[in-house]
Structure 1
C-alpha cells in the first residue's frame, strides 16, 4: 500500500516538477474546488438538498468523503488523486450550500475575505516554521477529536452549543493549514503530491471558513 502523501519523504519514481509549477498546480487545484463549490451554491437549491433523507444524505456524505480521501492520499497517480479530490469537494459543496443559505451574502463575503487572509498568513508561517507545525501535528489531531466529541455530546445530549468551541476549531485549522503547507513543501515536488497537498489544504480552508462564518453570524 502506498504511503500517505505527507509520509512520502523518499525519492519517488515520478518525475519532479519545478517549485513554481508545483505551487501553481496546488493553487489551480484549490481554485477548481472553490469554483465547483461556488457553482453548487449558485445552482443547487437548498430545498432539494433538504428533501434528501437525512440518513441517506449523511451516509452518502461520509462515504463519499472517506473514499475520496482514501484515493487522493493513497494513490500515486495524479488523475486518480484528482478524482478523489472531487469526491471530497462535491459533498463539501452540499454542506456549504446549506450553511451559507442561512446568512446574509455580505456576511459570507466577509467570512471569505477573513479566511483568505488567515490562510495566507498561516501559509507564510508554515513556510518559515515547518518544524514547529510538525511538532504540534499530533496535538492538533487529538484536540480536534476531543472538540468533535464535546460538540456531539453538547448537541445531542444537552441541546446546546458553546461558542468557544468555534474559536478552538478555528485555531486548530489554522494550525493544520500551517502544517499541511509546510509539509507540502518538504515532500518531493511531483504532480500527484501537488494535487494531494491541495486536497488536504482544501479541507482545512473550508472547515476554517465555515467556523469563521458561524462566529460572524453569531455576532
Structure 2
C-alpha cells in the first residue's frame, strides 16, 4: 500500500513576537489539537505512540527545549471539517483558525517557535491517499494517525526538512526516515530524520534563536 504525504508553500503571515513573555523565544512549542473524533484516545497515549519518538529525535538535533502541549475541545479548531477533495483548502482553513486562536490566547513567541498541528483519525482526502499536509517552514500542519510517522513528517516540513533529503536506511530491516514522501507498508519507520534533514532542522532552529 502506498500513501502520500504532501506539503505546500506557506501562506502569507506575520511573525509576531511578544517581548513581555520571558524566555518566549528559548523553546519550541508544538501545540497539538486532537480532533474531536479522537475522544477515545488519551493525550498520554497519543504522546506515547506519536510524539515520544519524535521528541527523542529532536533531542539528538538541538539543545533547544521542545515541548508538546495538547489542546482539546476547541470550537472552530478541533471540530474542523478537514476531509475534502482538495486537502490544501483544509490546510488553509486550519492555518487561519490556528493563527486566530494564537492571537486570542496571546501565546508567547512567533512562527519560528510555535507550531500548530491538527491530529486527525482519517486521511485528508476521499481517496485516503493524503495522510498529512503542512506549510514548508510555516506554522500549520495536519497529520492523520493512520501512520505513526506522519506527525513527525509534517512537523519536519514546518522546521524546513524536505522530501528530497529523506532516506531509506537499514537497521536490521529497511526503514524510512521521517520525510520519506511515499510510505510502503513493507518498510518500517526509522523514527529519525536523515543526516541532511537533521542539519536542515538544526539550521532552522539556530536561525530562530537569533
What TM-score, normalized to structure 1?
0.29
Instruction: With a CA cutoff of 8 Å and minimum separation of 6, indicate the structure with the bigger relative contact order.
Output: 1
Is the radius of gyration larger for structure 1 or structure 2?
1
Please identify which structure carries the higher helix content. 1
* Larger strand fraction of residues: 2
